[in-house]
Homo-oligomer: A and B are copies of this chain.
Amino acid sequence: NREIRDIGELQNRIHPTYSETSRHDLLCLQWPSPPRNILLVRKEEAPDVNAALVEFANHIHATYPSLSLIFEPHVAKELCNAFDFPIFTTGHSQHAPKSALQDKVDLTSTLGGDGTILHASSLFAKVDRVPPILSFSMGTLGFLGEWKFNEHKRAFRELYMSGASAGYGSSLLQAEAQETESKMTKAPQPQNMSSAWGLGVPDKATSAALSETERATSMSPDRAMPSSRPTGWSSIRGKSMGQSRGSRVLLRNRLKVGLFAPDGSRIPSSVSETSSASSALAAGEQQSDVYAMNEVLLHRGRTPHLSIIDIFVGGRFLTEAVADGMIISTPTGSTAYSLSSGGSIVHPLVSSLLLTPICPRSLSFRPLVLPANTPITLRLSKKNRGREIEVSIDGVRRDQGLSVGMEVRVVGEDIKARNNEWIGGVPSVVRGANGGGGGEEGNDHWVGGLNGLLKFNYPFGEG
């Protein structure tokens, strides 16, 4: 019915937990209760992606009727006619309470390539706890753990159900049985969320992991605002899509980036208009750091002359870089711009930052890999010939560049583990690690994909 609603109407977000498993390095995602609000992000200017997006949205609506679908404003406007159910977006209603994506989105799903994932991540560039991202590629699979689009039904089901059954501890098997039972007795009357909560063994784990205020935020709305639609795991379970399993998640460490004036004062982080991140954020938040998933980049831009940048590592002066620019990258970004500039490929689980010069005038300036908790400062040198150089985050250029004396300060995001549960990073639902009791494959999605992506063993001179 071509209806666009404001996300202010939606229930507040549910935070899944990420726990270690004995078998491998990836984490296991568990929903305390079924997710309800999904953000769909698409690649722009790609007609085939639009068709897939509509197909995917219709599938979700049909199979998981209790889920609400959220789109970015311009996408919602463009596609609303394609759906016979209401869709949601931000800033749509003047009447609705001002709500930001980070308060509502339970999980994000992207259709496109690496750039689309970066964009989805940028929508949460100010947020500590990013919703898990499930990404689909229309074409070839990239480095960021994309799934093939034709796997979308299975992939989404797996993520949706993750934690619903006892995937990893036999002690939960009983809770599982009980849950099934209790649902049976309660049917067919509309299931409300509090009943779902009542069953939740995972709930306890979550509670323990969250501070009291966090619990208040994430849980209260559910109790206060009962859903009127039949919803949740029970309705899905019946459908014979095989044993439900836990999704494997890679927490991708981000960079925390702040800009500072020569006098040491912080500069508000308005990013270029091409990013919709800022629009979604309240004014007050502008004063904080911004997170980057790939890298922060300083570059001479259109100035034809070399940039001169002073580099401080761990509070100490390292060197003066004379170069096209400097990259500070995450391990995730090590296969992006940093790789083109001669950086090494760093596994996403190596807790580190990369400092990679672009076309440095010194032949001996080699890429560095530093501990993730090392603070790095890049300051535009007084010797720099131009007035300003450019600053970009994850491929989006800031309107305001770095002028002489200004600094970019960077440190790796602090990923905390509390009682074996993890907070921080961009939780990426990883392909190919889908064996519930299985998981034998460990972090193979990366190793397995590497040769395919890089053609390491492609000798020159032979076909």
Q: A residues within 8 Å of B by Cβ?
A: 25, 114, 139-143, 301-302, 304-305, 313-316, 318-324, 331, 334-335, 337, 339-347, 349-352, 354, 358-371, 374, 390, 392, 395-397, 441-444, 447-448, 450-463
Q: Which of B321, B358, B364 contacts A363 (CB 8 A)?
A: B364
Chain B residues with CB below 8 A from A349, complex form = 371
Q: A340-B359, A363-B364 are in contact. List 13 more A-B contacts (CB 8 A).
A: A313-B447, A316-B447, A319-B456, A321-B457, A323-B340, A324-B358, A339-B460, A344-B368, A346-B368, A352-B369, A361-B460, A364-B454, A369-B369
Q: Report whether A340 and B324 are in contact in the complex, using a CB–CB cutoff of 8 Å.
A: yes
Considering only CB atoms, which chain B residue lies closest to A337 in the complex?
B359
Q: Which of B143, B316, B350 contacts A350 (CB 8 A)?
A: B350
A-B interface, 10 closest residue pairs, ranked by CB to CB distance from nearest: A363-B364, A140-B463, A344-B344, A340-B359, A319-B456, A346-B369, A319-B457, A344-B367, A140-B462, A301-B302
Q: Report whether A459 and B362 are in contact in the complex, using a CB–CB cutoff of 8 Å.
A: yes
Q: Report whether B458 and A455 are in contact in the complex, using a CB–CB cutoff of 8 Å.
A: yes
Which residue, of A323, A346, A397, has the highest number of chain B Cβ atoms within 10 A? A346
Q: What are 11 pairs between A and B in contact, CB < 8 Å?
A: A304-B396, A318-B451, A322-B457, A324-B324, A335-B461, A340-B361, A344-B354, A346-B352, A347-B370, A358-B359, A363-B363
Considering only CB atoms, which chain B residue lies closest to A312 in the complex?
B447
Q: Report whether A366 and B340 are in contact in the complex, using a CB–CB cutoff of 8 Å.
A: no
In the bound assembly, the distance between CA atoms of A351 and B350 in angstroms comes to 7
Q: Which of B142, B319, B354 contacts A451 (CB 8 A)?
A: B319
Q: Which of B114, B339, B366 contacts A454 (CB 8 A)?
A: B366
Chain B residues with CB below 8 A from A321, complex form = 456-457
Considering only CB atoms, which chain B residue lies closest to A395 in the complex?
B304
In the bound assembly, the distance between CA atoms of A316 and B374 in angstroms comes to 32
Considering only CB atoms, which chain B residue lies closest to A462 in the complex?
B140
Considering only CB atoms, which chain B residue lies closest to A352 in the complex?
B350
Complex copy number for this chain: 4
Q: Report whether B370 and A304 are in contact in the complex, using a CB–CB cutoff of 8 Å.
A: no
Chain B residues with CB below 8 A from A354, complex form = 344
Chain B residues with CB below 8 A from A142, complex form = 461-462
Given contacts A363-B366, A367-B345, A374-B347, contact A139 B318 (CB under 8 A): no
Q: Report whether B25 and A302 are in contact in the complex, using a CB–CB cutoff of 8 Å.
A: no
A195 to chain B, nearest CB (A): 42
Chain B residues with CB below 8 A from A316, complex form = 441-442, 444, 447-448
Chain B residues with CB below 8 A from A350, complex form = 350-352, 369-371
Q: Report whether B450 and A461 are in contact in the complex, using a CB–CB cutoff of 8 Å.
A: no
Q: Report whether A345 and B368 are in contact in the complex, using a CB–CB cutoff of 8 Å.
A: yes
Chain B residues with CB below 8 A from A141, complex form = 463
A450 to chain B, nearest CB (A): 6
A366 to chain B, nearest CB (A): 5
Q: Report whether B460 and A363 are in contact in the complex, using a CB–CB cutoff of 8 Å.
A: yes
Chain B residues with CB below 8 A from A456, complex form = 318-319, 321, 362, 364-366
Given contacts A324-B340, A395-B305, contact A457 B362 (CB under 8 A): yes
Q: Report whether A304 and B397 are in contact in the complex, using a CB–CB cutoff of 8 Å.
A: yes
In the bound assembly, the distance between CA atoms of A447 and B318 in angstroms comes to 6
Chain B residues with CB below 8 A from A347, complex form = 352, 368-371, 374
Chain B residues with CB below 8 A from A392, complex form = 304
In the bound assembly, the distance between CA atoms of A395 and B305 in angstroms comes to 7
Given contacts A456-B321, A460-B454, A461-B143, contact A366 B352 (CB under 8 A): no
Considering only CB atoms, which chain B residue lies closest to A144 in the complex?
B461
In the bound assembly, the distance between CA atoms of A337 and B354 in angstroms comes to 20
A203 to chain B, nearest CB (A): 32
Chain B residues with CB below 8 A from A344, complex form = 343-344, 354, 366-369
In the bound assembly, the distance between CA atoms of A216 and B301 in angstroms comes to 48
Considering only CB atoms, which chain B residue lies closest to A401 in the complex?
B302
Q: Report whether A362 and B395 are in contact in the complex, using a CB–CB cutoff of 8 Å.
A: no
In the bound assembly, the distance between CA atoms of A453 and B395 in angstroms comes to 31
Q: Report whether B458 and A364 are in contact in the complex, using a CB–CB cutoff of 8 Å.
A: yes
Considering only CB atoms, which chain B residue lies closest to A397 in the complex?
B304
In the bound assembly, the distance between CA atoms of A458 and B455 in angstroms comes to 9
Q: Report whether A318 and B368 are in contact in the complex, using a CB–CB cutoff of 8 Å.
A: no
A250 to chain B, nearest CB (A): 12
Q: Report whether A302 and B359 are in contact in the complex, using a CB–CB cutoff of 8 Å.
A: no
Q: Which of B345, B396, B450, B453 contacts A369 (CB 8 A)?
A: B345
In the bound assembly, the distance between CA atoms of A452 and B463 in angstroms comes to 8
